[in-house]
Structure 1
Amino acid sequence: MLEEPPLLKVKRPAQRPTQAQIDAFQNTPTGFVADAMDGLGAMDAQIQALGAGFGLPYAAAGPALTAYNGPADVLAALAALKFIQPGDILVSSVNGFQGCATVGDRITGMAKNCGAIGFVTDGPMRDFEGVAKVGLPSWCTGLNPNSPFTKGPGTVGFGVNIGGRQVETGDMIVADRDGVVVVPFAQIDAVIARLEQVKTLEYALDKEVEEGLKVPQNILDLLESDQTTYHD
């Protein structure tokens, strides 16, 4: 017979990006960050900015603080409020459960009061108008008015798997209207270094398109090479 687990397990933070590292991701599109990670890093496309088409804020970049609640529970997310540092993004896993909301306007309001700049979950949210009033950028799978419980067990600060990505407290979260990208803590400096190259290439291509580019030259070269065959 299994022993009953404690209602909460809290892991003290062991890593956090420097302010310079955090600043390097501000106002950077998620697509650029994913490109700097070889085209990877994004959570499942079901996790989208809440209300991005209705005037709600939909961009945030900051360190993750993780909470694992389990299906239909919110105890760990509530406990995580105590450990939020200014600039954190609260990443709250419910194991992908869609049967009720993960949080609503009160918890997002408290998270913002604690200094959080964003909220990410793999379940639905509720209280749309209240969340809009709070103004905390949030990413979720949709809306569901059903209520969660506060029974536990849950964890704060431990790794969580959310949207197909493993997220550890201290990883960088970069989120916007396109979705949510996770930059593992150990890769932050390497990604920052590659971001400058990505930005240079992206802005140069943007300029070419604005000036009338129709087909990239490398594609034209391929079409004229022996690597393309034509058939009638």
Structure 2
Amino acid sequence: MKPVILTDPPRAALTDVDALAELGVATVHEALGRTCYLGPELRPIQQGARVGGTAVTVLCWPGDNLMIHAAVEQCREGDLMVVTTTSPCTDGLFGELFATALAHRGVRGVVTTTGVRDVADLRAMGFPAWSAAVSAQGTVKATAGAVNVPIVVGGQVVRPGDAVLADDDGVVCVPRDRVGEALTAGRARLEKEEATRRAFRDGELGLDRYGLRATLAELGVEYVKAQQ
């Protein structure tokens, strides 16, 4: 890995990112063919937060948060920091002091495959975080990594400037060149879900609306009346 800090990469339009965030993580994930999900390991430290931002990516060494310090300078309003390490690490690489610096620059939150700490402080200041762990374990600042390079999170590539959406259901990353597609598909899915919601409120069963009775029959499922 070449130590590098890429400055001012192109970013997805914030108006589009905000519109995607309103759709929600699950809707966007489903609308894009069940792709772009960054995995169940990333869990929110708070409830009810729904954010979207443009990715500033950070690649650190395990137990070392030097490159997060370097990445802060590259952040601007509307960004969302995404952090991972060169090998698995759950140490507390991110805490309240970083959040304070990022909030000053208009950063909307952090997503990290590592641990976070100062969780009560992060909640109190309203800085959203999604992480793989909560850990008080401290770190060093000794090894060069990279900022604003493609990284891999949950098997998905996250590139600087991509649209990152996060809520109670987890995190998705929509490639910058697919944001328009995601908006169109996500809005169509919302309309479809609202029609289904109305049908369910009127008493229609999913078995009938989705044509699942035929599926059950093809799988050999039989209805047998219970004996009294």
User: Scaled by the length of structure 2, what TM-score is found?
Assistant: 0.89
Query: Hey, which of these two has a bigger chunk of strand by percent?
Result: 2
Alignment match, 2:84: 93
Cα deviations by residue, 1:14-73 (Å, 9 ceiling, x for unpaired): 321123322321322111100111011111201111132xxxx52111111111112111
Q: Secondary structure at the match of 1:107?
A: helix
Amino acid of the structure 2 residue aligned with 1:220: R
% same residue = 20
Alignment match, 1:148: 139
Cα deviations by residue, 1:53-107 (Å, 9 ceiling, x for unpaired): xxxx521111111111121111111111111110110011124633421211111
Alignment match, 2:7: 12
Is the 2:14–2:53 contact (alpha carbons within 8 Å) kept by the matching residues of 1? no
- How far apart, CA to CA, are the structure 2 residues paired with 1:99 and 1:34? 26
- How far apart, CA to CA, are the structure 1 residues paired with 2:221 and 2:57? 53
- How far apart, CA to CA, are the structure 1 residues paired with 2:207 and 2:194? 15
- How far apart, CA to CA, are the structure 2 residues paired with 1:167 and 1:222? 37
- How far apart, CA to CA, are the structure 1 residues paired with 2:31 and 2:212? 22
Is the 1:21–1:189 contact (alpha carbons within 8 Å) kept by the matching residues of 2? yes
Q: Secondary structure at the match of 1:175?
A: strand
| Structure 1 segments (4+ residues) deviating >6 Å | none
| Higher alpha-carbon deviation: 211-220 or 155-164 | 211-220
Is the 2:90–2:113 contact (alpha carbons within 8 Å) kept by the matching residues of 1? no
Equivalent positions of 1:69-218 (< 5 A) are: 69-95=60-86, 97-217=88-208, 218=211
Q: Give ranges in structure 1 of 5+ residues lacking alignment.
A: none
Alignment match, 2:36: 41
User: Scaled by the length of structure 1, what TM-score is found?
Assistant: 0.87
Is the 1:96–1:123 contact (alpha carbons within 8 Å) kept by the matching residues of 2? no
Deviation at 1:132, TM superposition (A): 1.5
Amino acid of the structure 2 residue aligned with 1:208: A
Q: Secondary structure at the match of 2:116?
A: coil
Alignment match, 1:219: 212
Is the 1:76–1:154 contact (alpha carbons within 8 Å) kept by the matching residues of 2? yes
Is the 1:96–1:162 contact (alpha carbons within 8 Å) kept by the matching residues of 2? no
Is the 1:67–1:156 contact (alpha carbons within 8 Å) kept by the matching residues of 2? yes
Cα deviations by residue, 1:125-182 (Å, 9 ceiling, x for unpaired): 1111111122111100121101111112111111111222210001100110010001
Question: What is the root-mean-square deviation of aligned Cα atoms in Å?
Answer: 2.0
Alignment match, 1:32: 27
- How far apart, CA to CA, are the structure 2 residues paired with 1:152 and 1:165? 25
Q: Give ranges in structure 2 of 5+ residues lacking alignment.
A: none
Deviation at 1:221, TM superposition (A): 4.2
Deviation at 1:212, TM superposition (A): 2.5
- How far apart, CA to CA, are the structure 1 residues paired with 2:221 and 2:160? 53
- How far apart, CA to CA, are the structure 2 residues paired with 1:74 and 1:168? 20
Deviation at 1:230, TM superposition (A): 5.2
- How far apart, CA to CA, are the structure 1 residues paired with 2:88 and 2:213? 47
Q: Secondary structure at the match of 2:94?
A: coil
